[in-house]
Every structure is written in structure tokens, then in C-alpha cells.
Amino acid sequence: MTKRTEISEYGEFALIDHLVKDFHAADASTFKGPGDDAAVIDVGDRYMLLSSDMLLEGIDFDLTYFPLKHLGYKAVVTGINDILAMNGIPRQVTVSIGISAKISVEQLEELYSGIRAACEEYGADLAGGDTTASVTGLAIAVSAVGTVEKDKVSYRSGAQPNDLICITGDLGAAYMGLHLLEREKRAFHGNDNPQPQFGGYEYILRRQLQPYARLDVVKELHEAGIVPTSMIDISDGLASDILQICKSSRCGARIYLEMIPIAKETNRMAAELNADPVVAALNGGGDHELLFTVPLSMRDTVARLGGVELIGHITPESTGAALVTPDGSDIQLQAQGFK
């Protein structure tokens, strides 16, 4: 009998490791393969960066409340964020779509108006793609290409003990926005006269439906002469992503709970839903912010940057990754990722 192993026995990250373990770069220009936010390709005087992301209807988005224009924008942001997470500048994207029978040309025009808005905003050219039919729902795959000077690339693997841990923007808002949309969708169901209650929640909705890629911060870092010792985009929540940095850099981390930036709208939504906003920040995901480390000597320079918060520091590997609560006790962080 042939062996059958369930995906759940691995989980997302172990599954990827398992699938790619027998691949070894044969081409001399492949400088870094799977394992970081983007592949790094040596094209001469600088590196080319290449990332891929796929969004599937019913898994990554719900068309009952996700406007197609925003979806197009978000798909491009997802790709571009992986280029930014290597400290690179986005240059091109390709967009491939699997179209289900219920989608019209007008709807695809909406989707592409969002793709165009993101390409214009981040200076990336649409360089190609693929179009096919889908039986299960809309699928969107984005590949992004960027470039970075060879001495400016940031990997997940360069964090050193005593480095400062920095974060852009605030966390947990996208997840709370998703909860609000799900709540209103349930209220919508079987209601002849639905009245969505979105007033006062524009911020968390925007964070879910219209995330911004932090090209502004990467440009600020370049201008300030800061090369992060490590960097990752926050896609799965702070806990999972700091653990990725710790694993790749063979280090530990201490993050101070009260320093994690959480917007007041996120706190308000969490209170209303009896949820913990810190859990949303740690495990919620979807924030599209950058997590990076800089040498301690850069403290003053990094503190002067707009939209960047210091939330902790890197420790030796033996201490693990811990969240320090206001009363001074440590909570070990746990990995997430889909199962």
C-alpha cells in the first residue's frame, strides 16, 4: 500500500522545508533560494529580488465584502511587501488570474483598476501574467521583482544579540477589521433591511481592505543610511514573524508588551468583541508592516524616523523568544502559520 501523510502532520513551514529540501541551486546567479521573503539573484552590480504570492477566494478573501478594486490593490501590496522586506525597491509585477464563471468583464476591470493604482503608487510596472479559468473561485497570483544594492540587502538571518527590534505602523488592526466584516456579514444573512454598523471603524476596515506597503519606510531607511541587520514583513502576526527572525538568525528576542503599537480603534473593536488586542497583534496577521532589527548604536537615528517603534531587543538563542508583560513576567512566544 502506498503511504499517505496528511498535510496537518507538517503545518505550513515544515511542509515547505520538506518539499524544497532536495533542491540545490545549480545556477551561479542564484544567490539565495527559498527561505526568505524574496529570492536574491546576482545580476552584476546589484541584486535582483523575486517573490511570489497567491490569493484564493474563500481562503484569502471573501468577495461578499471585499471590493474587487481593493483586492487588486492588496494583491500587489502583498507582492511588493516581500521586496521591501529585503530592503529592496519594487520594479515590476506580473499578475496571473484564475477566473470563475460568475465573474464579469466589468468586475475584472475593477480588479485591474486596483492593480493599476498599486503599480502607480509603488512605482512597479505590470510586466505580464497569465489568464485561465477556475472552477473553484477567483485566484490571483502576483510575482514581484525588485532591486537592491549588494551592501543594502536585509535577510531574515542577520539579527545579532543586543540589536533593537523595530516595527512600522501599528498591529492587530487588519485582524480586527476582518472580525468586523465577518460580524456584519453574519448580521446581513437573512436580513431584508441590513444596516452595516461601520461608523467609527474606518481605520480598521482600511487596514483590512486597503493595506499600504511601507515603501515610505524603506526609502527613509535608505536616506538615513540604515541597513537593517534583519527584516521580514509581518504577514502572520508579530509572534510568528519574530520567531522566523530568531530561527533564521539563531537568536532569541525580548519584546515588551506595552511597547507593541496598537491603534485606539483596534482596542475599541477588541473591547466590543471581548477579544484581546495583544493577541490580535501577535497572532492576527494581515498587517503588512515591516519588522526589522538595527544595531544598538542606531537607536537615536531609528527613533527619529517617522512611523517606526522600538519594541524590544535581540538576545542569545538560549533564551528563546519572550514577551515581557508590564509586571515583568515572561511569556514564551509560540509559532503560528496555517495548519
Residues lying near ligand ADP in the complex (CB under 6 A): 16, 19-20, 34-37, 53, 82, 235
Inter-residue contact 129 to 97 (CB < 8 Å): yes
Nearer to Mg ion, 19 or 303 (CB): 19
- Per partner kind, with CB cut-offs from 5 to 8 A, the member of ligand ADP, Mg ion, none near residue 35 is ligand ADP
d(CA 258, CA 326): 6
Nearer to ligand ADP, 146 or 270 (CB): 146
- List all residues 6 or more positions away from 43 whose beta carbon is below 8 Å from its beta carbon: 29
Closest Cα to residue 281, out of 306, 249, 303, 309?
309
The grid coordinates listed for 282 are 501577535
d(CA 247, CA 186): 39
d(CA 324, CA 263): 20
Provide the minimum distance between the beta carbon of 254 and ligand ADP in the complex, in angstroms, as a whole number.
24
DSSP strand pairing (46-56 vs 139-149): antiparallel
Angle at which helices 202-209 and 173-188 pack, to 10 degrees? Answer: 100
Nearest-5° Cα angle at 149, 144 to 152: 100
Inter-residue contact 155 to 229 (CB < 8 Å): no
Provide the minimum distance between the beta carbon of 247 and ligand ADP in the complex, in angstroms, as a whole number.
12
Provide the minimum distance between the beta carbon of 288 and Mg ion in the complex, in angstroms, as a whole number.
10
Residues that bind Mg ion (CB under 5 A): 37, 82, 233
Nearer to Mg ion, 61 or 201 (CB): 61
- Per partner kind, with CB cut-offs from 5 to 8 A, the member of ligand ADP, Mg ion, none near residue 110 is none
- Per partner kind, with CB cut-offs from 5 to 8 A, the member of Mg ion, ligand ADP, none near residue 34 is ligand ADP
Nearer to ligand ADP, 236 or 265 (CB): 236
Cα distances (angstroms) measured from residue 76 to each of 34, 111, 244? 20, 11, 23
DSSP reduced 3-state for 183:
helix
Sign of CA dihedral 280, 281, 282, 284: positive
Provide the minimum distance between the beta carbon of 180 and Mg ion in the complex, in angstroms, as a whole number.
25
Provide the minimum distance between the beta carbon of 53 and Mg ion in the complex, in angstroms, as a whole number.
8
Provide the minimum distance between the beta carbon of 37 and Mg ion in the complex, in angstroms, as a whole number.
4
- Per partner kind, with CB cut-offs from 5 to 8 A, the member of Mg ion, ligand ADP, none near residue 287 is none
d(CA 132, CA 249): 40
Provide the minimum distance between the beta carbon of 137 and Mg ion in the complex, in angstroms, as a whole number.
23
Closest Cα to residue 168, out of 322, 287, 4?
287
- Per partner kind, with CB cut-offs from 5 to 8 A, the member of Mg ion, ligand ADP, none near residue 20 is ligand ADP
Provide the minimum distance between the beta carbon of 15 and ligand ADP in the complex, in angstroms, as a whole number.
8
Inter-residue contact 256 to 312 (CB < 8 Å): yes
Nearer to ligand ADP, 188 or 338 (CB): 338
Nearer to ligand ADP, 17 or 125 (CB): 17
Provide the minimum distance between the beta carbon of 193 and Mg ion in the complex, in angstroms, as a whole number.
42
Nearer to ligand ADP, 37 or 163 (CB): 37
Residue nearest to ligand ADP (CB): 34
Inter-residue contact 240 to 336 (CB < 8 Å): yes
- Per partner kind, with CB cut-offs from 5 to 8 A, the member of ligand ADP, Mg ion, none near residue 187 is none
- Per partner kind, with CB cut-offs from 5 to 8 A, the member of ligand ADP, Mg ion, none near residue 123 is none
Residue 295 — φ and ψ, nearest 5°? -60, 150
- Per partner kind, with CB cut-offs from 5 to 8 A, the member of Mg ion, ligand ADP, none near residue 220 is none
Nearer to Mg ion, 163 or 233 (CB): 233
DSSP state of 66: S
Nearer to ligand ADP, 288 or 313 (CB): 288
